Amino acid sequence: MDDAGSTPSGGDTPIEADSYKGSDACSSLSVTSNVWRFDKENGRTYHGYRPGVYYYPNDPTEAERLEYQHCVIDFALDSRLHYAPLFAPRYVLDIGTGTGDWAIEMGDAYPNATIEGTDLSPIQPTDVPANVQFVIDDAEQEDWAVPENHYDYIHTRFMMGCFADFREIIKQGFKHTKPGGWMESQDLMHPPFCDDGTMPDDWPFKDWSETMDDASEKANRRLTIAHKLKRWYIEAGFVDVHEKIIKMPINSWPRNKHLKTLGKFWAENLLAGLQGFSLALFSREFLWSKTEIEVYLVNVRKSITDHRVHAYHKYYIVYGRKPELSPEEGLGALTITNPSPIAPTPSDTTPFPPHSPSPIVEKLSGLSSDSQNHGTAEKGPVASEKAVPDATDSVPFMPSLPQQAVQI
C-alpha cells in the first residue's frame, strides 16, 4: 500500500475522532498520533493512519452502515460465524475488522480463545468481551509482529478494494496460520448478475458498477477478486479448499420469502453506502467534483429499487486448511478431529450482549514477536508517534438506517 492511494485532499483539515464509539477512551488522553486524527474530504472522514490507502470513509454514518451490513450477512448465512470447521481455537485473527461486530460475536462464541481484530481506523467499541482485542494495523505490511504458525483461524470479509494484491494477504495468512489451522475469506463479486435477461446494458446500477471497476483499477485496488479466491488459496498452499456461493438479490424482486427479505436488506445497505463507496474513488481517480458525483448517483439510486430488473450479486465463501507438518519436522502438528458445530450469533432478543472493557492498540512494525507478549497491552488505548424489514420470527435484529424515499 506504499503509494497505491493518494493522501485525501480538497482543502479540509483533519478532525479528532471524538464522535466514535471509542471516543470515551481517546478523549481522556492527549494523543498526537495520526491514528486518532481523521482526514476530512467531501464532507466525509477517512483514516489517518497510512492515509490514502483505503478509499472508503470511517465516519459514524459508515460505521452505522457497516453494523447493518454485518446483520445482513448474518441473515444471509443463517447466523453462521464461519464455515471452516473449528475445534477449540486458541488464537483467531479478523483482518479488516471494521466496527468489530464479527470479532465480538466470536469472542462470545469462543470464550477460551483470544480474538484479535485489526483495522486502519480505531472505530471499534471499548466495551467488548475480555478475550477480544482491537489493533490498529495494516495487514499489507510484511511485519505482522507475531510469530509464524501462530493463528488457529484467520478470517477476512469484504476485502474487495482494500489491497493492491490480496494474494499477498493470503500468502501472509498461510505463513501465520498454524499447521492444521484454517483461513477463510468471504467477499462480494462486484458486477451484478442476471439470469433471465431483465438487466439492460444501460441499467444505471450496472453502469455504476463498471465505473467503480474502472476507478478501482486506476487506484490499484481491484474490486473483482471474489471469483479468484479459491485459486489463490490453493496457490498459497492451503488444502481442503472449499468454495460456496450465495446469491444476494439487489432488491426484493424474488418470490422466495427468504431471498425477498435478503434483497430488501441488501438494497437498504447499498443505498446507505452508495455515496461513501463512490466519493473518494471518483474524485481522486476521475477528478469529479462532489456535485458531479451526487448528480450521477441520482439515477443509480433509483435503479437499485427497480423490481423489473432481476439482478443479484454473488457472495463467495472460501476456506482452506494449512497442511499438518510431517513427522520428520517434529513439531507435533495439530490434527482436526470431530469439529465443533458452528457457533450461532446472538439471538434476536439479545442482539448485542453486554461486554467488558478491552483495549485498542496501535500495532507497529518492529514490536517483539515473542508469542508471550502478543496480545498484551496497557489498559486503555495506546498510540505512538510512529505510527426496516418485515417483522417475522426468522428476521434478525437490524440496526436502523436513514429512511429511503423510495420503495425497495
361 within domain boundaries: no
Q: Over pLDDT 70: what percentage of the chain?
A: 71
Domain of 49, CATH number, reads 3.40.50.150
Q: What is the pLDDT of residues 103-158, one digit of tens each?
A: 999 999 999 999 999 988 888 998 999 999 999 887 877 777 788 999 999 999 99
Could you list the residue range(s) of the whole structural domain that residue 224 is in? 15-340
Asked if the structure places residue 10 within a domain, the reply is no
Assigned domain for 395 exists: no
Beta strands per DSSP E along 120-176: 127-128, 132-136, 151-157
Residue carrying C-alpha cell 432488491 = 251
Confirm whether 357 is domain-assigned.
Answer: no
207-241 pLDDT, tens per residue? Answer: 999 999 999 999 999 999 999 999 999 999 999 99
Minimum mean pLDDT among 95-99, 107-111, 308-312, 329-333: which range? 329-333
Contacts of 253 (CB under 8 A, 6+ apart): 260, 263, 307, 309, 310
369 found inside a domain: no
Question: d(Cα 293, Cα 202) in Å, to the nearest integer?
Answer: 18
pTM, full prediction: 0.76
How many domains is the chain built from? 1
Please report whether residue 23 resides in a domain: yes
With respect to residue 161, please indicate whether it lies within any of the assigned structural domains: yes
The single-letter code of the amino acid at 261 is T
Contacts of 287 (CB under 8 A, 6+ apart): none
